[in-house]
Copies of this chain bind each other. A is one copy, B any other.
Amino acid sequence: MFEKLDLTKKTDDKTFEKEMAPLQVEIGVLTRPLWEHRVPIIIVVEGWNASGITMVISELIQHIDPRGFSLHSIGSPNDEERAHPFLWRFFTKIPAKGRIAIFARSWYSRSLAEQVSGIDWKSGMKSSIATINSFERQLADDGAIILKFFLHISKEEQKQRLDERERNLLTSWMITKGDWDFHHHYDSYLPVIEEFIGETDKPYAPWTIVEATDSNYTRLKVYATVVKRLKKHLDRIESGGKQEGKNNGKTDITKPPKTAVKRKSAAPVAYSKPEYESHLARCQEKVRDIQYLLYKRKIPLIIVYEGWDAAGKGGNIMRLVRQMNPRGYDVVSITRPDQTELDHHYLWRFYQRFPKAGHITIFDRSWYGRVLVERVEGYCTAAEWKQAYQEINEMEQAYVQSGGGLIKFWLEVSKDEQLRRFQDRQEDPLKQWKITDEDWRNRGKWNEYEEAVEEMLARTSTPEAPWTIVESDDKYYARLKTLQTMIGYGGQLFR
């Protein structure tokens, strides 16, 4: 595509001013109702070094209320970012509903710099493209407008600009050896960038390639593209039509799930108390050793606990962490989202809590709430929970592929055993706080929950992230099984 571009395109000052003025008014007029409709807007500006990324953004924000947008300048990752999976630093920066996030460079530059390298760069590229496409599709499905620009200049033009900046005292220190290295490899990068752009140019997140030789032409083209796209989106919303991308539920929910996961609540083995205690102590010590090895090898580990009310999640977690070094793990209890969390994509709040390299995060309930409680209680639309299966699978795959460990437990109890535990709690003054009216209400919807659980297990048991069913009618058995599962995971890793 690049060879067809006319890099000599120009706009004279008079035309620029004439055409820019109405656009500047229009952008102010457009952003307000989009904010009221709670539409998140993502603008990505990429391009060659010295192609004018900062200039374009300066122009763009001139007439946007500075309180309405955030600008993220994406350079080399810092320690914290390096210790997390690739998407983490981007997912945590997505805009809240109604806000604008502008990215000066983005996941594209970082993919090229961090993931597409070495002998195996072609496969790195393929996996980068898949990760990015699902990331952007998820945001678009959630109602976001995504605009992506690539500022294109010729190798000669780039050389001139780098030379010029080096001559200027105020800017010379900004030009690094890396900039020149990149310049010398312009011709080898060109086809890679072209392929990258081609493969990520989607209706819900289109690229605009901008002939960026002339600054008037460049700014005007970007501005006009943004205004046009926002206008189109707003028109569609205001005419009551379906929002672009919003909730289009791309998951093919009619296809029968590949895996049927069998739930069982009865323990296949019964342990006596002394047996249990001696197994427990030995397992807990092994788990501590695994924790040290994870830390030493800088592997992050997520452990997800899901299960029926009173299945014993809390007690199980306490036994799992009993001998762990408390500096290396976190237990995150997931409850109702707060307003800031509701203002973002529902996966956003979980990304915030992802473990860094060498650490363990235990989620007591998790993102699966979307397809369980939110589905059953109607806290989200059917389209939303239906598309969540794919979103969750993609998130877990990207995380595992980036080197993270993931263990998912479903704690199964029978309906009778749950009843016994509820009654127990009600009668014991020390345990009464554990049982609420909501627990009884949930129990009343056992069948609806059961349907949701079965579909969840079937649709989200993937090779990368299988579910482990923990038979939990017998607490001894359940506790030992989670410990043993973690030991098995450790054994696999360190063989």
Contact = CB atoms under 8 A, between A and B. Distances in A.
A364 interface: yes
A70 B104 CA distance: 35
A433 interface: yes
Contact of A71 (B32, B65, B326): B326
A57 interface: yes
Contact of A80 (B80, B321, B327): B80
A174 to B, nearest CB: 9
Interface string A291-325: 01000100000000000000000100110011001
Nearest to A288: B170
A131 B302 CA distance: 37
A401 interface: no
A330 interface: yes
Interface string A154-191: 00000000000000001001000000000000000000
A292 B169 CA distance: 11
A362 B62 CA distance: 16
Given A80-B78, A170-B289, A57 B338 contact: no
Contacts of A80: 78-80
Contact of A321 (B66, B317, B338): B66
Nearest to A433: B32
Contacts of A170: 289, 292
A54 interface: yes
Q: What's the number of copies of this chain in the assembled complex?
A: 2
Interface in A18-38: 32
A453 to B, nearest CB: 22
A340 interface: yes
A402 interface: no
Nearest to A325: B54
Interface in A53-81: 54, 57-58, 61-62, 65-67, 70-71, 73, 78-80
Contacts of A364: 66-67
A337 to B, nearest CB: 11
* Most B C-beta atoms less than 10 A away, residue of A65, A79, A292, A326: A326
Contacts of A327: 54, 57, 71, 73, 104
Contacts of A71: 326-327, 330
A333 interface: yes
A272 interface: no
Contact of A78 (B70, B78, B289): B78
Contact of A67 (B104, B173, B331): B331
A8 interface: no
A381 interface: no
Contacts of A67: 314, 331, 333, 364
Contacts of A447: none
Nearest to A29: B430
A254 interface: no
Given A78-B80, A79-B79, 12 more contacts: A32-B433, A54-B327, A57-B327, A58-B326, A61-B326, A66-B318, A66-B331, A66-B362, A67-B364, A71-B327, A173-B296, A339-B339
27 contacts: A54-B325, A57-B326, A57-B327, A62-B322, A66-B317, A66-B318, A66-B331, A66-B362, A66-B364, A67-B314, A67-B331, A67-B333, A67-B364, A70-B330, A71-B326, A71-B327, A78-B79, A78-B80, A79-B79, A79-B80, A80-B80, A102-B326, A104-B327, A173-B296, A338-B338, A338-B339, A339-B339
Interface of A: 32, 54, 57-58, 61-62, 65-67, 70-71, 73, 78-80, 102, 104, 170, 173, 289, 292, 296, 314, 317-318, 321-322, 325-327, 330-331, 333, 338-340, 362, 364, 433
Which 4 A-B pairs rank lowest in CB-CB distance, beginning with the nearest?
A: A67-B333, A66-B331, A78-B79, A73-B327
